[in-house]
Every structure is written in C-alpha cells, then in structure tokens.
Amino acid sequence: MKNKLKKISLFFNIEDALLKQISSFCLTKKYKKDEIIFYEGEKENYFYGIVSGSVLMYDVDLKGNIIPKNQFSCGDIFGLISQIQNRPYCLTAKTQSDAQIIKINYQKFSSFISNPPFSDRIIKMLSNQIMQEIEFNKLQKYDATKRVIYTLLNFPQKFVKKKKYLLAKELGMSAETLSRILSKLKNEEIICYCDRAIKVLDYEKLNKILKE
C-alpha cells in the first residue's frame, strides 16, 4: 500500500513511517470502465486517490443529461472537499477507463491534515480548484468559437484524451459545433492533433481572435 500511496500527489515524498500509518486505514479497489464510484448526494467517510486510470466528476441536468465538471487522472485525489465540509458528495464520480483507486478514511486521516506538508498541499490544491472554477466561469461571456479558444489557452488539459461529446457539453455546445471549430483552427494551422491531444501551434493568433 505504501508504494501505491507514493503515486498520489498528496503523499509525494512523505516518509515511510508516516505512510505506514496512513496505509492502515486505506483500501485499494479496482474499477471497470464506466463504473460508478459514488453518486451525488451519497454520504461516505472516504476520499479517493487514483493509482491508475481516470475519473470523471459530473452533474446531471433536469433532462438526465450528463454535465461534465472535473476530470482526474493518475496521482490526483477527489472527494476531499465534501469530507472537509462534512457534506454529501456534490457530484457523481465514475471511471473513464479501467482504474485502480485508493479509498482513504477521512475520519482517521483528519488528524494529519492540520500539519505540514498535508495542510500546505491541501490549501494549495483547494485554492487552485477555486481559481480554475472562477476562470472557467468566464466562458459564459463568449460565443462558441471564443469559448473553445479561451479553454485552449487557459485549460489545455481539458483537450487531452477527453471524449469530444463530454468536452462539448462542458463548453455548452454540441459535439458537431466543437468539431467544426477545431477543424477550422486546424485548417488554419493554429492547432494540431498529437497523440489524442490537441497542441496549440500559434498562441498569438488565438489571443488575437479572443480579443476581437
């Protein structure tokens, strides 16, 4: 278990003696692709670390459509904010691929979080998430093309190995509209496709379009 914990960002470079203590209240579970880890509204005493695979956190609208919110991959943790606030999970989490995930008992871990390095790392992590939410909410003022460009400039990780229909929903457009915009940018040699990810070739042009 110690070696698996070392793959999680929250536990990087933590001494073995401390990892051994934490290991005593951790469980490892393997999940199949598209398997639900927890549902919105559930209340458990765990947060999670990803050893391998990826996880999608999503909301559901009144019509039952999935609204993607966050995507996590190897080394990331999720579900911690709900534990800190002592609230049910505010989103549903499911795997996007086969995954190996560590369940960490928050009640037992809570005695560690007020001390460095965990306190510093958690504060930084939560601050980054809040800032990302603030920045991503700025998308609402743009049209479809500029929403894609703004995301390429500020959240390039969202274009890495993510299904287009999920990204399109996150950006508030159809998958067809997203494909059309990306194709146009590719034909103008502003972006290119590289190993299932999108790479920006001309940041100057993207910034110019965004300011028009």
pLDDT, tens digit, 9 for 90 and up, residues 73-110: 999 999 998 999 999 999 999 999 999 999 999 999 99
Q: State the pLDDT at residue 33.
A: 94
> At how many degrees (to 10) do helices 144-154 and 164-171 cross?
110
pLDDT, tens digit, 9 for 90 and up, residues 99-108: 999 999 999 9
Name all domains of the chain by residue range, CATH numbers in brackets.
2-129 (2.60.120.10), 142-211 (1.10.10.10)
* Tokens 């003022």 belong to residue: 141
pLDDT, tens digit, 9 for 90 and up, residues 193-205: 876 778 889 999 9
Give the CA-trace dihedral at 110, 116, 118, 123, to 10 degrees.
100
Given a cut of 70, whether residue 162 has pLDDT beyond it is no
Instruction: State both tokens at 120.
Output: 């510093």
Question: Whole-structure pTM over 0.85, yes or no?
Answer: no
Q: Give the residue-averaged pLDDT of 151-175.
A: 81
Residue of 32, 46, 134 whose CA lies nearest to 89: 46
